[in-house]
Amino acid sequence: MTRDATRRDFIRAGAGLALGAALPMPALSTSHHRAVPSLPKTGETGQPAPGAHREPMERVRIGFVGVGGQGMTHVENLLEIPGAELTAVCDIVEGKVRAAQEKAVAKGFREPTGYSRGPRDFERLCAEEELDLVFTATPWEWHVPVMLAAMANGKHAATEVPAAMTVDDCWAMVESAEKHGKHCVMMENCCYDRFELMTLNLVRQGLLGEILHGEAGYLHDLRGVKFSREGEGLWRRAWATGHNGNLYPTHGLGPIANCMDINRGDRFERIVSFSSPSRGLQLWQAEHLDADDPRRRERYVLGDVNVGLIQTARGRTIYLAHNTNNPRPYSRLQLLQGTRGLVSGWPYRVHLEGRSPEHQWEDAAGYYEEFDHPLWRAKRIQEMDRGHGGMDFLEDFRLIECLTRGEPTDMDVYDAAALSSMVELSIRSVAKKGRPEEVPDFTRGRWRSRAPWPVVEA
Ligand SMILES: NC(=O)c1ccc[n+]([C@@H]2O[C@H](COP(=O)([O-])OP(=O)(O)OC[C@H]3O[C@@H](n4cnc5c(N)ncnc54)[C@H](O)[C@@H]3O)[C@@H](O)[C@H]2O)c1
């Protein structure tokens, strides 16, 4: 099936189901993206490849787009990180721009220029400001338009997760990053959490043996958030009116992908996906909303529980789960099975053959002293005001550090595309009663020779 046909079917699959919704279903049209029959090979554009080294920079001038809940967390982090300079801020809500500007001034920086003339004002920011990086934490449907505008204007791009919601948009990111020679990074904070990074350290030291299987999930009761009158309540619920699959695959899958060297020795090859009935949001609606609340007219199609199985080119297996609609404590699963043992998240446990008591789990806390990742040990990071705790700060720190050192970013555009493509591919598989969907090779063969992410030091 051609890429265009794929996209048309996807949009059609959702479109008919959104009727009667009080929140408009997000448009998945990727009109900014022309179909590209053959993408340029790296090197042919005369630009540095996404994973290549570049000139070091003394400072990173940043334009931030979308300073809501998560965006403001990044802004606060960036104001603490040496080399980062918040130069411009954009949001459709003027008061949020103001709040970010005030934070910068309170930290002794020049007031960043504000942009709040509507939903496409980021285009003006990208065109007018002298920036090195545009970073977005907007609702999902805006990530790709912001990043494409950034790269077309000669800026590196970083985004919150998922980077893109369609396979077409994944290709658009790849094409733009290659054409303009810019970094395009999906900021997957869970790759930097302590247990996940220790797991990577164990894998790199060979303690788990050959990695065979992973389990990953995003299991988070977001019913209250989705029906809130602010923040994500203004946009996230709309996705559930038209799309049934795994809408948020990257938190669990990112760290597993790193341990399996996805795009760097292996790659996702195909996925099958199934969804349970859709009940949680309907129940919430009936039990919490007034009889005349227009949100009662919304109809949801997102199955409460979505489960997928991914196979990699090297034959490994991954179980991928998503549930944001039912009562349950938070979990990202995080299980990694190797030939010499396994680790398992939530609760964090380890079993290593020859080290752990036979057939018994050990608490992972006992492993940190010996196997903590160097990023979690680094004194200079510990000495900074890390604001919102470890992982969000670390991911921002690493992004700025890679840019100032001129090193490749930890995750690049191929990772952003492969991980994010699971959104549309899971939706398509669910619509076909679990038929396998092939995952595009966004690296176009280079996954075989790209080097794995090493255990980096700050
Ligand atoms: N990594 C994580 O742990 C994590 C946690 C929360 C949210 N997120 C991600 O961060 C992103 C934002 O989520 P949030 O919780 O901060 O939502 P939010 O609604 O609190 O913030 C979104 C902000 O974007 C602004 N905005 C909307 N459209 C815009 C446009 N066209 N141009 C400029 N600004 C625009 C909104 O006014 C709002 O301030 C999402 O992609 C979400 O998935 C990630």
Q: What is the pLDDT of residue 2?
A: 38
CA of 163 to the centre of ligand 1 (A): 12
Q: What is the pLDDT of residue 1?
A: 35
User: Beta strand pairing status for 84-90 and 113-115?
Assistant: parallel
Kindly report the number of other CB atoms within 10 A of residue 380's CB atom.
9
CA of 287 to the centre of ligand 1 (A): 27
Pocket of ligand 1 (CB under 6 A): 65-71, 90-93, 96, 119, 122, 137-140, 142, 160-161, 189, 231-232, 234
Tokens of 134: 């545009």
pTM of the model: 0.93
Ligand 1 pocket test, pick from 72, 138, 140 with the greatest ligand atom count within 8 Å of Cβ, gives 138
Closest ligand 1 atom, residue 248 Cα: 43
Closest CA to 453 of 223, 236, 201: 201
Q: What is the pLDDT of residue 381?
A: 81
Q: What is the pLDDT of residue 323?
A: 98
189, burial (CB in 10 Å: exposed 0-12, middle 13-18, buried 19+)? buried
Closest ligand 1 atom, residue 122 Cα: 32
Q: 3-class SS at 197?
A: helix
Q: What is the pLDDT of residue 246?
A: 98
Low-confidence ranges of the chain (pLDDT < 50): 1-21, 29-43
Ligand 1 pocket test, pick from 91, 93, 148 with the greatest ligand atom count within 8 Å of Cβ, gives 91
Helix, strand, coil tally for the chain in percent (to 5): 40, 15, 45
Angle of CA points 255, 258, 259, to nearest 5°: 90
